[in-house]
């Protein structure tokens, strides 16, 4: 559409983009529903004027942070004709902060180099906007590295709903509890600690009202470091959550709960999306898991397998509508990790040194 001449990416810009990737990866912030982004501003000689990074929802975007740092350091005039190097396409969207593409234009930036195109349908278009205003724009540099900064966020944006990780813990024969419903403990303390680490990586934990009635779980992160607030504890289903349930009151660290009065996984995810949720850990029982699978709404599986046999008891997943082997749900194994045996017996521990196996899987792409 535009005919701006686009110069090849210079070595200085490449180096600046690598630096922006490092800035974006800085630990210690609660990003909330936002992606990790880094930005470096270069003068006409390729020397760095200023840097910036995004520190989470409600705080300045990486470009705005870099522009502010530049104005503090060298004054606004130094930005005329400068180049902005960013890990993500500058946004064209007014959210809690203004659009970065416009801020770059206002500052007199003459050239923009970015890595990943913005997959967010409401924010995309920044590159186009800049180009239309006569800025020299190059996108798609070091895309894989940029994607690796925000794999779950990127997938969620493209899906237009939260990314769903289904976690289950089962025996070698696929049981999640004994015939009488008891399940403490099938897995080792190492596995259970790993589940807390997993919860700390998501923004939402989801179960069904059946699990609340049966187990009264607290679903909080307890044995792992939290980078932000406790994940939202969401309950899905038409039944009321009993007033005495752990999920009926605010948990430790202000852990919030939300009752989604629906049996439709898609509706539940839509509501969670409106609540700025990007990554849901599905921890419910066989019925809820089967509903998500049937709706095609599972993006990742984390399975904890304990070296235990029960011979009876609830299954991992309910009816998937699969009658014959050719209809089987086939997954791709991403990782297999042998979880270090428990060093000592804790209370209720199944025994010293129990080894569990964690499998991480993704649905197979249709070929």
What span, in angstroms and rounded, lies between the C-alpha atoms of 112 and 191?
Answer: 46
- Site for a second copy, residues 218 to 277, rule: CB under 8 A: none
Active-site amino acid positions: 63
C-beta closer to a second copy: residue 106 or 319: 319
Helices 62-74 & 11-24, crossing angle to 10 degrees? 110
Q: What string marks each residue from 300 to 339 as x (binds a second copy by CB under 8 A) or -?
A: -x-x-x-xxxxxx--xxxxxxxxxxxxxxxxxxx--x-x-
By beta-carbon proximity to a second copy, the closer residue of 218 and 355 is 355
Residue 190 binding a second copy, by CB under 8 A: no
3-state secondary structure of 227: coil
Calpha distance 269→206 (Å, rounded): 10
Please state the closest distance from residue 201 (CB atom) to a second copy, in A: 22
3-state DSSP assignment of residue 349: coil
Which window, 7-15, 123-131, 164-172, 202-210, contacts a second copy (CB under 8 A)? Answer: 164-172
Determine if 3 is a binding residue for a second copy (CB under 8 A): no
Q: CA angle, corner 280, sides to 357 and 240, nearest 5? A: 110
Block residue for tokens 């499998």: 359
- Can you read off the two tokens belonging to residue 115? 């890595």
Q: How far is the CB of 346 from a second copy (least distance, A)?
A: 15
171 touches a second copy by CB under 8 A? yes
Place of tokens 């599905």: 282
Contact residue for a second copy among 175, 233, 278, 279 (CB under 8 A): 175
Window contacting a second copy (CB under 8 A); options: 44-52, 151-159, 181-189, 261-269: 181-189
Please identify which residue in 183, 204, 209, 220 interacts with a second copy, judged by CB under 8 A.
Answer: 183
Tell me whether residue 72 or residue 180 sits nearer to a second copy (CB atom). 180
The overall longest dimension of the chain from CA atoms, in Å, is: 75
- Residues near a second copy (CB under 8 A), total: 58
Would you say 121 and 148 are in contact if contact means Cβ atoms under 8 Å apart? Answer: no
- Residue 329 in tokens: 């749900």
Least gap, CB of 266 to a second copy (angstroms): 19
Residue (44 or 336) nearer to a second copy, CB: 336
Token pair for 119 = 């997959």
User: Which tokens in the block code for residue 167?
Assistant: 């976690």
Torsion sign (Cα): 181, 184, 187, 191:
positive
**Backbone φ, ψ for residue 204 (5° rounding):** -150, 135
Within 336-355, the residues that bind a second copy by CB under 8 A are 336, 338, 350-355
Among 65, 152, 290, 291, binds a second copy (CB under 8 A): 290
Q: Is 48:42 a contact under the CB 8 Å cutoff? A: yes
> Of residues 78, 193, 258, 357, which one binds a second copy by CB under 8 A?
357
Tokens 């894989």 identify what position? 144
CB of 189 to a second copy, least distance (A): 15
| Nearest Cα to Cα of residue 307 among 166, 167, 169, 168 | 169
Binding residues for a second copy, rule: CB under 8 A, are 170-175, 177-180, 182-186, 290, 293, 301, 303, 305, 307-312, 315-333, 336, 338, 350-355, 357, 359, 361, 364, 367
């Amino acid at each position: 559409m535009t005919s701006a001449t686009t110069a090849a990416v210079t070595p200085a810009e490449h180096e600046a983009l690598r630096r922006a990737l490092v800035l974006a990866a800085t630990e210690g912030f609660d990003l909330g529903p936002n992606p990790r982004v880094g930005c470096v501003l270069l003068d006409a000689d390729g020397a760095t004027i200023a840097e910036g990074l995004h520190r989470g929802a409600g705080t300045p975007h990486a470009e705005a942070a870099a522009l502010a740092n530049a104005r503090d350091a060298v004054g606004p005039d130094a930005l005329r004709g400068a180049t902005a190097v960013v890990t993500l396409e500058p946004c064209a969207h007014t959210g809690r902060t203004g659009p970065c593409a416009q801020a770059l234009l206002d500052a007199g930036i003459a050239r923009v180099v970015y890595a990943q195109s913005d997959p967010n349908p409401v924010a995309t278009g920044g590159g186009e906007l800049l180009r239309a205003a006569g800025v020299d724009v190059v996108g798609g540099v070091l895309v894989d590295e940029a994607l690796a900064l925000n794999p779950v966020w990127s997938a969620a944006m493209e899906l237009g709903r939260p990314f769903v990780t289904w976690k289950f813990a089962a025996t070698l024969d696929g049981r999640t509890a004994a015939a009488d419903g008891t399940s403490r403990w099938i897995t080792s303390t190492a596995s259970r600690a790993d589940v807390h680490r997993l919860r700390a990586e998501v923004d939402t934990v989801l179960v069904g009202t059946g699990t609340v009635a049966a187990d009264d779980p607290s679903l909080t992160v307890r044995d792992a470091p939290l980078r932000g607030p406790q994940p939202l504890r969401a309950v899905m289903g038409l039944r009321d959550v009993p007033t005495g349930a752990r999920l009926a009151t605010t948990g430790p660290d202000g852990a919030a709960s939300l009752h989604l009065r629906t049996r439709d996984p898609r509706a539940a995810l839509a509501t969670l999306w409106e609540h700025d949720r990007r990554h849901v850990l599905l921890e419910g029982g066989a019925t809820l898991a089967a509903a998500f699978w049937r709706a095609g709404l599972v993006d990742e599986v984390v399975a904890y397998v304990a070296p235990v046999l029960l011979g009876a008891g609830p299954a991992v997943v309910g009816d998937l509508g699969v009658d014959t082997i050719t209809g089987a749900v086939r997954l791709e194994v991403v990782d297999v990790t042998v979880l270090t045996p428990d060093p000592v017996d804790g209370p209720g521990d199944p025994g010293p040194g129990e080894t569990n196996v964690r499998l991480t899987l993704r649905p197979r792409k249709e070929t």
